[in-house]
Amino acid sequence: MPSFLDPTILAGFVALFVVIGGAFLAVNLFVGWLVRPRLPNAEKLEVYECGEPAIGSSFVQFDLRFYVVALLFIIFDVEVALFFPWATVFGKATQLSDPALQTVQADGVSLTPAAAGLLRELGIDRPVLPDFSRIAIPGGVEVDPSAVAVAPPAAVGLASARQDVTRAGGLLARLAVADMVTFFAVLLVGFAYVWNRGDLDWVRATSNERGAASGR
């Protein structure tokens, strides 16, 4: 059975995405060219650049605030792209923690192909059953770090092994949520900072002048 981590399959997915995206764009442009009205007039044929009136030659320098707003848009837009890998990890962790997914073989000491495949897609090269039996409660016995990476003995029941896999998936999902909450907090703090500075006010200088004039 081919793995989705196979470079050939990944390259095929990327190529398919590019072809479908290009075809979608081309079809929309062609349909728009066919159906849109063609009513040229003097106003439509005037030079227009991002809301700024065309004054002087084409080498006129635009207001610096235009570039600030554009830069902020690009920053926030690029950061939104980080949702895609996060959603992948969160979705696979949630699927792994779902009790309805058969995660442990009948022997109780090995993972099913479905669970092992999810762990490999999460970046674990040689996935094994997690073992929480030797992890101490805070204030108790010291934790043995190697216990987490070693498959539990055969004496561990099937139900206990399934519970360990479910717990591992749940911990990873909660960690992903905490990571995204932290990301959002940093993003909102930065947004509030530039908003408080007035960098999002397109007519900041005019507003300050009016405020100073009204306070006299």
Region 4-27 average pLDDT: 87
Residue 207 falls inside a structural domain: no
Confidence (pTM): 0.53
pLDDT of residue 29: 93
Residue 51 falls inside a structural domain: no
Alpha-carbon distance 39 to 24, whole Å? 26
Given a contact cutoff of 8 angstroms between Cβ atoms, the answer to whether 136 and 143 are in contact is: yes
Given a contact cutoff of 8 angstroms between Cβ atoms, the answer to whether 119 and 142 are in contact is: no
**Percent of the residues in the chain that have a pLDDT greater than 70, as a whole number:** 70
SS (H, E, C) 127-173: CCCCCCCCCCCCCCCCCCCHHHHCCCCCCCCHHHHHHHHHHHHHHHH
Residue 94 falls inside a structural domain: yes
DSSP 60: P
The angle subtended at Cα 64 by Cα 59 and Cα 67, nearest 5°, is 90
pLDDT of residue 149: 42
Q: What pLDDT digit, counting tens, does each position of 137-174 carry?
A: 444 444 444 444 444 444 446 778 788 888 888 888 99
Name the band, by pLDDT with cuts 50, 70 and 90, for residue 24: very high
Other CB atoms within a 10 A radius of the CB of residue 102 amount to: 13
User: Which H or E run contains 181?
Assistant: helix 158-197
Non-local CB neighbours of 63 within 8 Å, separated by 6+ positions = 52
pLDDT of residue 150: 44
Domain count, the chain: 1
Q: Domain of 126?
A: 63-69+81-202
Alpha-carbon distance 135 to 171, whole Å? 14
Residue 189 falls inside a structural domain: yes
Alpha-carbon distance 170 to 92, whole Å? 10
Q: What pLDDT digit, counting tens, does each position of 179-211 carry?
A: 889 988 888 888 888 788 877 776 555 545 555
Given a contact cutoff of 8 angstroms between Cβ atoms, the answer to whether 187 and 152 are in contact is: no
**Percent of the residues in the chain that have a pLDDT greater than 90, as a whole number:** 11
The angle subtended at Cα 182 by Cα 180 and Cα 188, nearest 5°, is 100
Alpha-carbon distance 118 to 63, whole Å? 51
